[in-house]
Amino acid sequence: MTSHSVDAGASRYEPTTFKVKDKKLGMWIFLASEVMFFTGLIGSYIILRWGAATPWPVPGEVLNVPITAGNTFLLICSSVTMVKAFAAIEDGNQKMLKVWLLATAIIGACFVGVQAYEYTELVHHGFLPSSGLYGSTFFTMTGFHGFHVTVGVLCLLWVAIKAFRGGYTQADHQGVEIIGLYWHFVDLVWIILFTIVYLI
């Protein structure tokens, strides 16, 4: 069957598909749900913090802000490398696609590593999830973000392996675009979390 024999009667109608492809649309829908998930956590944090009976620790009192500021910069850089990877395959540049994908995954892994270091230091100083509301909210929010970054790194490695096998072409590289959407989302969430948890 050939695709140019579309029924004339049908083509008069408005299109019944959306111009965004299934997988990309699916990712956008998934991200809408993720927005609600983090809204639940962040909203609870706002209620608990500004409704707290005891004063909240001032920024820098418990947490090491400079290290995390560096880590934040790292994560923002990984968004840049992600954009670079996408731009490379848009140009059909297979070599730079692999380079930038790997760079993104490595920087993402570094972010998780620094966060793990931060956690061990905090636990070492006796700051735990059971350390009142401050500990509860801090570990839950940053922990779930860290979990999302970890999943992102694993997916990036998956995409990178596919790239090394030549799985993406200039014409068809949906996988790179979709992991990019997720990665930028996780990055954006971190910028909000860093601001409200560490800076304010």
Please say which residue, 29 or 116, places its beta carbon nearer to other proteins. Answer: 29
Please say which residue, 20 or 69, places its beta carbon nearer to other proteins. Answer: 20
Please say which residue, 31 or 96, places its beta carbon nearer to other proteins. Answer: 31
Minimum CB separation from other proteins for residue 45, in Å? 10
Give the DSSP per-residue string, 152-186. HHHHHHHHHHHHHTT---SS--HHHHHHHHHHHHH
Cβ partners under 8 Å of residue 139, min gap 6: 119, 128, 129
For residue 89, give Cα distances in angstroms to 2, 39, 50, 172, 175.
Answer: 30, 34, 47, 9, 11
The closest alpha carbon to 71, from 36, 109, 39, belongs to 109
What CA–CA distance (Å, rounded) separates 89 from 93?
Answer: 5
Under DSSP, the state recorded for 197 is: I
Please say which residue, 60 or 129, places its beta carbon nearer to other proteins. Answer: 129
Minimum CB separation from other proteins for residue 131, in Å? 9
Please say which residue, 132 or 175, places its beta carbon nearer to other proteins. Answer: 132
Tokens representing 52 are 């707290």
Residue type, 33: S
Tokens representing 124 are 């070492």
Contact positions vs other proteins (CB under 8 A) = 1-7, 9-11, 13-14, 16-18, 20-22, 25-26, 29-30, 32-34, 36-41, 44, 47-48, 51-54, 128-130, 132-133, 135-137, 139-140, 144
